[in-house]
């Protein structure tokens, strides 16, 4: 079917990526008339999200998508972390034996699009590039013709460079965190079947997971200052390959040399708004983070289902801020702690490893936060306080060794500053409970300063200087 100017829809969704397609399906199940517009159907073959936490896997099952029954998909049992000192890997299974899902991105998107396109009430228009949006009309080109349609609500599920976001006067200027290279290896096995392997020690973290029997994906995170196209294979082989577990080093280098890889840029845009009641932003259009904690699609699916489940935009906004705050902070914070090469970040990392190894409550809390199931900011703040306290205690105990006092003093000072920003952020959060926009931006900014790198957007008031340039604006 085709969407035309004469047709009026309840909902027009710009972008049939994973989140837009699920949003179309969820609205159609509630009886809405939906137009789903997609500019570039083949774009889903790019390197993008493949790991879904259990809550997102449940959303798919509940809506009738059986992605787990298809080839190139596997259950995800949780994570296993390989510390940089070569010590024993640390297993972080999902709580209560729940299962996530790992699925080839293109396959996941095509399953969702097919289901949306076949659903009663949905008009899916492929190759429809939206060019402008106002409060009730969407202007797009399709098959060489300029067209428009009218809708009661327009949903921007059009990703990081969202045109719906821009139509609201909001920035889509990219803030580059790092780049990623995804290598596909066939005929190899992982040491921990169905676990996501997080490997530390190289210039950036490595994430490895199985996609199908004998097929694994190695995702290498490359900091922007180390990115180069000339001599890249040599650099990757030397700097990353030796940290790979289970004899993957050789097959990784071979796959790299055979050109079996794709590249992607990682960007950061914290959620500060969901748009307006007539032009709603969801998924990556609302916000996006470094993918190491794999929350992009889980949060996006949550947006889609919540939007279809309520008519009150304010309720939707309140629910989504509540659901996204902790996963967002974890995505920003954990990546920064894992990628940062400074001494205080290393002290935090070793405190985290120690906590995971020795304290089951701490370990369970981490996996619940990772899985987007523990949404308590207080709980997360306590976990961070505890980590900082362990790191400080570790430094103090080492300071009695010769020449270690100075280092301990520097590290403890840096950690005390983080703690101070955390406490300020949590206090600000109490004020911003239902707020949006500036209040939220300020809270988020203060809390982000808890972590080593902080974000590059400036908050008013005095604050410690940013010592990193990892997130570069405008690249």
Ligand X SMILES: Cc1cc2nc3c(=O)[nH]c(=O)nc-3n(C[C@H](O)[C@H](O)[C@H](O)COP(=O)(O)OP(=O)(O)OC[C@H]3O[C@@H](n4cnc5c(N)ncnc54)[C@H](O)[C@@H]3O)c2cc1C
Contact call for residue 37 and ligand X (CB under 6 A): yes
Residue 83: Cβ within 10 Å count: 19
Query: Closest by alpha carbon to 425, among 439, 445, 453?
Result: 445
Q: Per CB under 6 A, which region of 5-13, 281-289, 333-341, 346-354 contacts ligand X?
A: 281-289
Q: Does 39 bind ligand X (CB under 6 A)?
A: yes
**Angle in degrees, 0-180, between the axes of helices 343-358 and 360-370, rounded to the nearest 10:** 110
Quick check: 221 binds ligand X (CB under 6 A)? no
- Report whether 56 contacts 301 (CB < 8 A): yes
144 versus 402: smaller Cβ distance to ligand X: 144
Q: Which is nearer to ligand X, 266 or 454 (CB)?
A: 266
Tell me: does residue 50 bind ligand X (CB under 6 A). Answer: yes
The answer to whether residue 204 forms part of the interface with ligand X (CB under 6 A) is no
* Among the listed residues 13, 14, 103, 306, the single contact to ligand X using CB under 6 A: 14
Binding mask 86-125 for ligand X (x = CB under 6 A): ----------------------------------------
CB of 145 to ligand X, least distance (A): 15
Binding of residue 3 to ligand X (CB under 6 A): no
Judged by beta carbon, residue 48 or residue 391, the one nearer ligand X is: 48
Distance in Å, CB of 388 to ligand X, minimum: 28
Cβ partners under 8 Å of residue 202, min gap 6: 220, 239, 240, 243
Of 11, 12, 13, 19, the one binding ligand X (CB under 6 A) is: 19
Phi, psi of 41 (to 5 degrees): -55, -30
Q: How far is CA 10 from CA 136, 267, 311, 320, in A?
A: 10, 32, 12, 22
Q: What does the alpha-carbon distance between residue 383 and residue 280 come to, in Å, rounded to a whole number?
A: 33
Nearer to ligand X, 222 or 447 (CB): 222
Residue 210 binds ligand X, judged by CB under 6 A: no
Smallest separation (angstroms) from ligand X to the CB of 420: 32
Give, to the nearest 10 degrees, the angle between helix 377-399 and helix 405-431.
170
Rounded Cα distance between 21 and 439, Å, is 31
Query: Applying CB under 6 A, which part among 34-42, 65-73, 76-84, 234-242 lies near ligand X?
Result: 34-42
Structure tokens at 303: 């947006």
Q: Out of 142, 180, 317, 339, which residue is the one contacting ligand X (CB under 6 A)?
A: 180
Q: Residues 283 to 312: which contact ligand X by CB under 6 A?
A: 283-284, 288, 291, 294-298, 300
- Measured at the CA of 31, the angle between CA 27 and CA 32, to 5 degrees, comes to 55
Q: Is 191 helix (H, G, I), strand (E, B) or coil?
A: coil
Least gap, CB of 423 to ligand X (angstroms): 30
Q: Of 455, 247, 256, 181, which Cα lies nearest the Cα of 336? A: 455
As measured in angstroms, the least distance from the Cβ of 343 to ligand X is 29
* List 1, 43, 118, 475, residue binding ligand X (CB under 6 A): 43
Taking CB under 6 A as the rule, does residue 466 contact ligand X?
A: no
Pull the structure tokens for residue 304: 């889609």
From first CA to last CA, the distance across the chain in angstroms is 39
> Which of 45, 11, 22 has its CA nearest to residue 296?
22
78 binds ligand X (CB under 6 A): no
User: What value does the CA radius of gyration of the chain take, rounded to a whole number of Å?
Assistant: 22
For binding to ligand X (CB under 6 A), which residues are involved? Answer: 14-20, 37-40, 43, 47-51, 129-130, 157-159, 163, 180, 264, 266, 283-284, 288, 291, 294-298, 300
């Amino acid at each position: 079917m085709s969407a035309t100017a004469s047709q009026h829809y309840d909902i027009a969704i710009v972008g049939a990526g994973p989140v837009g397609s699920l949003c179309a399906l969820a609205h159609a199940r509630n009886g809405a008339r939906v137009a789903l517009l997609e500019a570039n159907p083949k774009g889903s073959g790019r390197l993008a999200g493949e790991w879904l936490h259990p809550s997102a896997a449940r959303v798919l099952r509940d809506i009738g998508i059986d992605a787990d029954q298809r080839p190139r998909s596997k259950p995800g049992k949780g994570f296993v972390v390989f510390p940089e000192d070569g010590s024993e890997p640390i297993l972080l299974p999902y709580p209560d034996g729940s299962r996530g899902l790992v699925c080839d991105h293109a396959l996941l998107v095509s399953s969702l699009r097919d289901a949306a396109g076949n659903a009663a009430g949905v008009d899916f228009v492929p190759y429809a590039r939206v060019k402008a949006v106002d409060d009730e009309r969407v202007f797009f080109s399709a098959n060489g013709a300029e067209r428009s349609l009218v809708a009661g609500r327009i949903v921007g599920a059009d990703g990081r460079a969202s045109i719906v976001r821009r139509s609201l006067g909001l920035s889509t200027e990219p803030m580059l965190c790092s780049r990623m290279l995804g290598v596909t290896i066939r005929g190899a096995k992982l040491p921990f079947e169905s676990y996501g392997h997080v490997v530390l020690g190289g210039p950036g973290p490595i994430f490895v997971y199985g996609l199908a029997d004998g097929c694994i994906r190695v995702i290498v995170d490359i900091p922007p200052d180390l990115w180069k196209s000339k001599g890249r294979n040599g650099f990757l082989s030397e700097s990353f390959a030796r940290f790979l577990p289970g004899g993957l080093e050789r097959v990784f280098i071979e796959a790299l040399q055979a050109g079996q890889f794709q590249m992607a840029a990682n960007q950061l845009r914290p959620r500060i708004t969901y748009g307006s009641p007539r032009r709603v932003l969801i998924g990556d259009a609302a916000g996006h983070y470094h993918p190491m904690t794999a929350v992009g699609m889980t949060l996006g699916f949550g947006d889609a289902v919540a939007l279809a489940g309520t008519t009150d935009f304010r309720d939707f906004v309140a629910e989504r801020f509540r659901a996204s705050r902790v996963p967002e902070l974890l995505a920003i914070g954990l990546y920064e702690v894992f990628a940062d090469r400074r001494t205080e970040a290393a002290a935090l990392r070793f405190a985290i490893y120690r906590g995971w190894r020795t304290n089951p409550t701490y370990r369970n809390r981490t996996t619940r936060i990772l899985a987007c199931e523990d949404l308590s900011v207080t709980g997360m703040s306590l976990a961070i306080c505890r980590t900082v306290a362990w790191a400080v205690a570790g430094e103090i105990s080492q300071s009695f060794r010769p020449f270690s006092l100075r280092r301990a003093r520097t590290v403890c000072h840096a950690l005390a500053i983080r703690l101070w920003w955390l406490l300020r952020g949590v206090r600000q959060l109490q004020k911003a409970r239902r707020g949006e926009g500036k209040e939220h931006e300020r809270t988020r900014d203060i809390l982000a300063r808890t972590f080593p790198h902080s974000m590059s957007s400036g908050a008013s008031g005095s604050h410690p200087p940013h010592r990193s340039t990892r997130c570069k604006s405008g690249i």
